[in-house]
Amino acid sequence: MTTQLIFAITLLVTLGAFAYTISRIVSFFKFTRPAFPIKDIGKRINVMITVAFGQTKIFRRPVIGMFHAFVFWGFCIIIFGSIEMVIDGLTGTVRVLKFLGPVYNIIMASGDIFALLVAISIVIFLSRRLFFHIKRFEGIEMKKITHIDANIALSIILLLMISLLAMNTGYIEYKSITGEPTVGLFPVSSVIAGFITHGQAESFRLMYEASWWTHILLIFLFANILPYSKHFHVFLSIPNVFLSRLDPLGKLPNMDNVSREVKLMLDPNTAFAAATSDLPPERFGVKDAEDASWKNYFDSLACTQCGRCTSVCPANITGKKLSPRKVMMDLRARMKEKGPLMIKNGRDFNDNRSLLRDYISEEELWACTTCNACAKECPININHPTLIVDMRRYLVMEEASAPGEIKALFNNIENNGAPWQYSAEDRMLWAKDLEMKTHHV
């Protein structure tokens, strides 16, 4: 009973801390702008199954993609064992889900196998980060703390897998020595147990219990570290894929406030009402974190910081400052900085800083070709160009700020009705002396 009480208190503290962190993050969403409506649920489920659970984008790099898939699928299986451990910890039972019979055997066997596969994958990931220079892991946005954060998260996952295998091994050996039947199948742990030929039943019982507590406490710790880590995508990647923008990548969304103004101008009956409206004018585009849509902010939280987007960005490849990964990381960092201040002082609070210029420079924004290679490559369907274009919209529509070439293009469109510096009357001069042969059929 004492053990159950200790476990219950630990679980309560864990859930309380996690709920506090999530509530703070959720409160930031109320400052963001609306995005697209969530519809076409069937299509979204299909995208989620293929991209998130099927890991289709990850497999574009087949070798390292397979190891990442092992980790993802492993977590999906092992979570059932974790749920069982929570129930056992609260009720004092042992392997409470054993009533599932053959299904339970399959779950336990899969979890045991994946524990080894995940452990091997994590060792490979850590080795790549510590001993190999992987270009996409570097960049101006990838500071030292970012690498430390990744290494800590990977180390915790490795300890989780080791403690799980140790727990299963201790359980098998203890039951074997005492002559009691085991519940569940553990193919990997059974092989490990085969190498341990000596030991007392009490020693293996202690091994099992120590590993049990180590495993569950690491889960509780990891859950509360994740929201502050790049590995927050463990929770958010699946819902982010479900919430993917379903329009073709090349289609840029219209600005609702501009569309509304155009419709009002085309309707004489509403033009006067709009002119006399007391509503404050909306900002065009994105200047700061609160101007971004909720989906842009969700993208920034879900970002895995894997660098696949930046590694395929033609602007970045040719030496320009733009890094799509940095844009997402900057939005998350800016909201983390300003969000608490807006909660305290209101949405209109101004700290004399902004996402634009203080975090992301104009040079970065205008380097984007809107080719959508970043969005195409992102394993969790983050759409970087929508945010980049909205920041450029702010520059043009609010500040009339743009590179000289673009300003010239705008002037030509305004004056000549075309991007070129020729009047409408001179459009066909190029064909003046052109001789064309006609063929009669």
pLDDT of residue 273: 56
Residue 35's closest CA among 236, 298, 344, 289?
A: 298
What tokens were used for 74? Answer: 């492993």
What pLDDT is attached to residue 423?
79
Contact, 155 vs 196, CB < 8 A?
Answer: no
- The pLDDT value given to residue 320: 95
**What contacts 333, CB < 8 A, 6 or more positions away?**
359
Mean pLDDT by 10 residues, the chain (441 residues): 92 97 95 92 96 94 94 96 95 92 96 97 95 90 92 96 96 92 94 86 94 97 93 94 94 83 73 56 89 96 94 95 96 96 92 96 96 96 96 93 88 84 78 73 57
Query: String of b and e for 57-82 (b: at least 16 CB within 10 Å)?
Result: bbeeeeeebebbbbbbbbeebbebbe
Instruction: Report residue 191 as tokens.
Output: 């092989």
Report which DSSP code applies to 180: P
The C-alpha torsion from 406 through 407 and 408 to 414, rounded to 10°, is: 110
DSSP assignments along 99-110, one per residue = GGTHHHHHHHHH
Domain 256-416 CATH assignment equals 1.10.1060: yes
69 half-sphere exposure, CB direction, 13 A CA radius = 17
As a dihedral over the C-alpha atoms of residue 140, residue 141, residue 142, residue 146, rounded to 10 degrees, the angle is 150
Q: What is the Cα–Cα distance from 335 to 439, expressed in whole angstroms?
A: 66
Q: Which long-range contacts (CB under 8 A, 24 or more apart) does 133-136 make?
A: 135/311, 136/306, 136/307, 136/308, 136/310, 136/311
pLDDT at residue 440 in the model: 65
Q: What's the token pair of residue 256?
A: 């609702």
Nearest to 354 by CA among 287, 290, 399, 284: 287
Phi-psi region at 296: left, alpha or beta (left = phi > 0; alpha = psi -120 to 50): alpha
What is the distance between the alpha carbons of residues 266 and 268, in angstroms, rounded to a whole number? 6
Alpha carbon distance 238, 54 (integer Å) = 11
Taking the C-alpha atoms of 98, 101, 107 and 112 in order, what is their torsion angle to the nearest 10 degrees?
Answer: 70
Domain boundaries, given as residue ranges, for the chain: 2-30+61-231, 256-416
Distance of CA 245 to the CA centre of its chain: 14
Given phi > 0 = left and psi -120 to 50 = alpha, else beta, which region is 352? Answer: left
Q: Which two tokens stand for residue 310?
A: 């930046």
